[in-house]
């Protein structure tokens, strides 16, 4: 079955960067877009952007351009998201999802990022 | 960006009852709306996409309706496992955007 296994929680200092991973299994990784979604504590969901593993093409929410970098490693069916110049506003749970025509059929378990000195 | 507004914010109901959650888009999104369930310790679950198409494996007590700007998720005969958070999301145009969420609680 389809699984998206995300990397563990991270505690990072303000101004630093963090890179998280999302390992896909149970389907052909290069056939579907992978999206990333942010959920701040107690708040709703925000779409960050997406990457198409076959070509590396990306689309971003304007709000996250310059903040998030999306990459993939096709050899290991793993998607990555790096967040840069972290502030307290970036403390959140980040989900990777498999995206079909803009809707998200499968979700990872989430990676908690805490930005604190 | 398309703003998505959900109502009610909180909803209390008992098992066996039927409930409806509403979602309103700031502009027409045709039929392109999805619904998700979120529960602690579990992966978020897609319930409905394209406004009314039931995702594979989702019980038929869940149904979606609407088009344009107004949509509804209806859950008939609530089961204990249905309590949790529900989100709508438009998938008509970038950036994909979500509603603020509805918390369905046990009465």
- From chain B, pick out residues whose CB is under 8 angstroms from the CB of A57: none
pLDDT tens digits along B51-83: 999 999 999 999 999 999 999 999 999 999 999
Q: Is B99 helix (H, G, I), strand (E, B) or coil?
A: coil
> Measured between CA atoms, how close is A76 to chain B, in angstroms?
22
For an interface test with A, give the residue of B57, B93, B96, B99 to mutate (most A CBs within 10 A): B96
Is the Cβ–Cβ distance between A48 and A68 less than 8 Å?
Answer: yes
Q: Mapping DSSP to helix (H, G, I), strand (E, B) and coil, where does residue B11 land?
A: strand
For residue A42, name the pLDDT band (cuts at 50, 70, 90).
Answer: confident
Q: What is the mean pLDDT of residues A7-31?
A: 98
Q: What is the DSSP string of B32-101?
A: -EEEEEE-TTS--EEEEETTTEEPTT--TTEEEEEETTEEEEEE-S--GGG-EEEEEEE-SSSSPEE---
B107 Cα to chain A: minimum distance (Å): 21
**Alpha-carbon gap, residue A37 to A45, rounded angstroms:** 6
What's the Cα-to-Cα distance from B56 to each of A97, B31, B46, B49, B62, rounded to whole Å?
17, 19, 9, 11, 12
Average pLDDT estimate for A14-32: 98
Nearest CA in chain B to A104: B46
Distance of CA B62 to the CA centre of its chain: 9
Span A62-70, average pLDDT: 97
């Amino acid at each position: 079955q389809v699984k998206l296994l995300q990397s563990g929680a991270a505690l990072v200092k303000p101004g630093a960067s963090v890179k998280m991973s999302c390992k896909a299994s149970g389907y052909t990784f290069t056939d579907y877009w992978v999206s990333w979604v942010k959920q701040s504590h107690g708040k709703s969901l925000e779409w960050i952007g997406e990457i198409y593993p076959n070509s590396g093409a990306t689309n971003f929410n304007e709000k996250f351009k310059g903040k998030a970098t999306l990459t993939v490693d096709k050899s290991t069916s793993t998607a990555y998201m790096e967040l840069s110049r972290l502030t307290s506003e970036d403390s959140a749970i980040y989900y990777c999802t498999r995206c079909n025509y803009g809707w998200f059929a499968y979700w990872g378990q989430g990676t908690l990022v805490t930005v604190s000195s | 960006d398309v703003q998505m507004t959900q109502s009610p914010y909180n909803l209390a109901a008992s098992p066996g009852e039927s409930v409806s959650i509403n979602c309103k888009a700031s502009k027409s999104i045709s039929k392109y709306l999805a619904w998700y369930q979120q529960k602690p310790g579990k992966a978020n679950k897609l319930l409905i996409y394209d406004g009314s198409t039931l995702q594979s494996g989702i019980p038929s007590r869940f149904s979606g309706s609407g088009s344009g700007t107004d949509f509804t998720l209806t859950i008939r005969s609530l089961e204990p496992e249905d309590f949790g958070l529900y989100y709508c999301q438009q998938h008509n145009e970038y950036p994909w955007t979500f509603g603020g969420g509805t918390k369905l609680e046990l009465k």
